[in-house]
Structure 1
Amino acid sequence: MSAQRVYRAMRDVVQSMDGTVPGRFEITGKGIVHDLTAPIGPHGLTSLRLRKRLEKVMPDEIVAHTGRPDVEDESEGIMRRPDVLVIAEADMEGDGAFDPGTVIAAVEIVSRSNPDNDWVSKVRDHPLMGIPLYAIFDPRTGTGAVLTDIHPTPDGPRYATRKDFVYGEDVTIGDWTIPTDGLPVYE
């Protein structure tokens, strides 16, 4: 079976389970990932606060989107749903998944149930999809990182620049700087 057929079969499975099983499913280059992220509590509150803070400093035509649809790169066999997606509102028109080429930044809040998904798998997958900026907020530790500057490596495209931050510091995501004070941490 071709890689495209395997990917499409995984996508059909993920879509059939969406809304029937708690959490969300994403497809990586290595298979299906199940994230038990609860949309409430520190994870959901962090997502909400980041979305609001970003939208305060971004131009009106750029949005910090939370929710569906997914970002899909069928040629790489990857389908992801960032917690916050920075994208031009005009690029949200139409049906189906977002084109990763239109994504300005992906922002993830590390889940308690599967932190490697955000710190390992997505660090690998986002540059493969061509997402130029990836920001990670980790409520487990009150820290995070912004990854930029995709460059080729023998293992495929990777981010070349990583800027770490601690909650309470201002963080720059693309052209926009937001405060990180008041973001919740897991207890």
Structure 2
Amino acid sequence: MSVDPAVYARLRDIADQLPQIPGIGKVEIADGEIIMMMSPVKRHELAVLRIARQLNAQLPTTHPGHIAYHGADLEDAGLGRLRNPDLMVFPEATLEGEQRAVLPHEVLLAVEIVSKSNPENDYQDKVRDYAAMGIPFYLLVDPRTGTGIVHSEPGYGSREKFVFGDRIAVGPWSLDTSGLLTYA
């Protein structure tokens, strides 16, 4: 599962030097390859926003100093992985650091909103990667079907399925999924 550190370092350098291309939203590294992700659609981004709002309202009570934030890279150089989850929960102070990416040990929750173009990545590859990184919770939201899965530790052996409209528990947080929309 891991990649030679020199190979990963070279891939990371290449990824950092790629020009911004219209329609390409994220660059990730997995399985010894650079993966260019399509820019998300509006309903994808709306799901991220609505989940982040709910988490950020609860975090001052459950985990003071933590935030639900989108846009940061998640890197595990030892595994040879660079991911960009749609949303992560981690200490706000992490953003003050000089490192290029958030480290897995800082992350309590990773959230992915399944894209129309590459659902296997979220259902298989990222389940494997986030579990290997030791991230306690992985919330998978699928607007294609109006369903989702809450993966929890250890190794994501626990999988709780839900449908849009359910109130779900994700670790210590409670999320109302009635505001999530399916893709048109």
- TM superposition score normalised by structure 1: 0.88
Deviation per residue, 1:19-43 (Å, 9 max, x gap): 33522111113522222132x4111
Aligned: 1:48 with 2:49: yes
Structure 2 distance, partners of 1:131, 1:92, is 18
Give the structure 2 partner of residue 91 of structure 1. 94
**Counterpart residue type for residue 85 of structure 1:** M
Ranges in structure 1 where 5+ consecutive residues have no aligned partner: 151-157
Structure 1 distance, partners of 2:147, 2:48, is 15
Q: Is the contact between residue 37 and residue 113 of structure 1 (CA under 8 Å) also seen in structure 2?
A: no
Computed over aligned residues only, the root mean square deviation of the Cα atoms, in angstroms, reads 1.6
How many equivalent pairs are there? 177
Pair 1:18–1:115, CA change in 2 (3 A): farther
**Counterpart residue type for residue 122 of structure 1:** K
Structure 2 distance, partners of 1:12, 1:116, is 26
Residue in structure 1 matching 2:136, options 132, 136, 152: 132
Over 3 Å off, 4+ runs: none
**Counterpart residue type for residue 89 of structure 1:** E
**Counterpart residue type for residue 102 of structure 1:** E
Give the structure 2 partner of residue 74 of structure 1. 77
Q: CA deviation at 1:174?
A: 1.8
Q: CA deviation at 1:18?
A: 5.5
**Counterpart residue type for residue 182 of structure 1:** G
Give the structure 1 partner of residue 9 of structure 2. 8
Q: Is the contact between residue 8 and residue 32 of structure 2 (CA under 8 Å) also seen in structure 1?
A: no
Structure 2 distance, partners of 1:174, 1:92, is 23
Structure 1 distance, partners of 2:161, 2:19, is 33
Q: CA deviation at 1:13?
A: 1.9
Structure 1 distance, partners of 2:180, 2:105, is 29
Ranges in structure 2 where 5+ consecutive residues have no aligned partner: none
Q: CA deviation at 1:9?
A: 1.4
Q: Is the contact between residue 35 and residue 113 of structure 1 (CA under 8 Å) also seen in structure 2?
A: no
